[in-house]
Amino acid sequence: MAVELTNRTIWLTGASFGIGLELAERLLDKNNQLIVTARSETVLQKLKTDYPDQVTIIACDISDPSAADYLKAELANHVESLDTVILNAGICEYIDVTDFDMDLVDRVTQTNYLGFVRCVAAALPLLTGSRNNPHLVGVSSASAYHGLPRAEAYGTSKAAMRHFLQSLRLDVFPLGIDVSIVYPGFVDTRLTRANDFDMPFQMTTDQAVEQMIKGIEKRKKEISFPRRLIWPIRLLSMLPASLSTELGQKLVRTQG
């Protein structure tokens, strides 16, 4: 059942730049009430200034172990229920196996996976209380489909998100909550501009957000884009391990 993203109470994390900021602006233009979360309140103030009657700010570092309790209390202070939750916050760092950095693994895991789970824990009671077709959306990554070079931390965190949401989808079905997983390819953002490798079929944030909104409104269980990148990665995951490894090793040699 399609549900238009208008006149809904929405919580969006990672709303300070890139996909999150573009998505926030689009949702606000569609007359939604929006709770926005990022680590710094300052970077969210422009949204509040531009949309004073529609925006509520809850600043939080979701990598903090106490974030779940804090977010749960803050959300309950502002709204009685949530219609849509879009968990978009995340960081991207890549492993160098010749100088393995456990602190990097911990940072990525604490934000992309455990931080995401903390947000789910905070949101579930308010989604359960919604009578307006509640919907939980998690933004994973195309890298969740298969292991890729240098993605031992980032790709693993996004694959963990995927597995979590697939399991959660089954458990919240009796509660009437839909669950969608977003798998973006390369999108031109502040994070990807730091990458030191080729990014095929890169999309603009506007293009990515357009795909996300269409998929969310259609209640698609999986929202993946662009197809020219997604399908080769998905095919890689279906091949025998010997062949997928051989192809993956060619990618390593092209990283430079």
Enzyme catalytic residues: 154
**Distance (Å, rounded) from C-alpha 137 to C-alpha 213?**
11
Where on the phi/psi map is residue 198: left (φ > 0), alpha (ψ -120 to 50), or beta? beta
Sign of CA dihedral 92, 94, 99, 101: positive
The residue assigned the tokens 């603009």 is 204
Closest CA to 33 of 6, 70, 72: 6
What is the torsion angle, in degrees rounded to the nearest 10, for the CA atoms of residue 154, residue 67, residue 65 and residue 14? 10
What does 204-221 look like in DSSP terms, one character per residue?
A: -HHHHHHHHHHHHHTT-S
- CB count within 10 Å of CB 209 equals 23
Task: Yes or no: say if 213 and 202 are a contact pair by the CB < 8 Å rule.
Answer: no
Please provide residue 225's backbone torsions phi and psi, each rounded to the nearest 5 degrees.
Answer: -165, 155
List strand residue ranges (DSSP E) for the chain, in order.
9-13, 33-37, 55-57, 84-87, 135-139, 178-184, 222-225
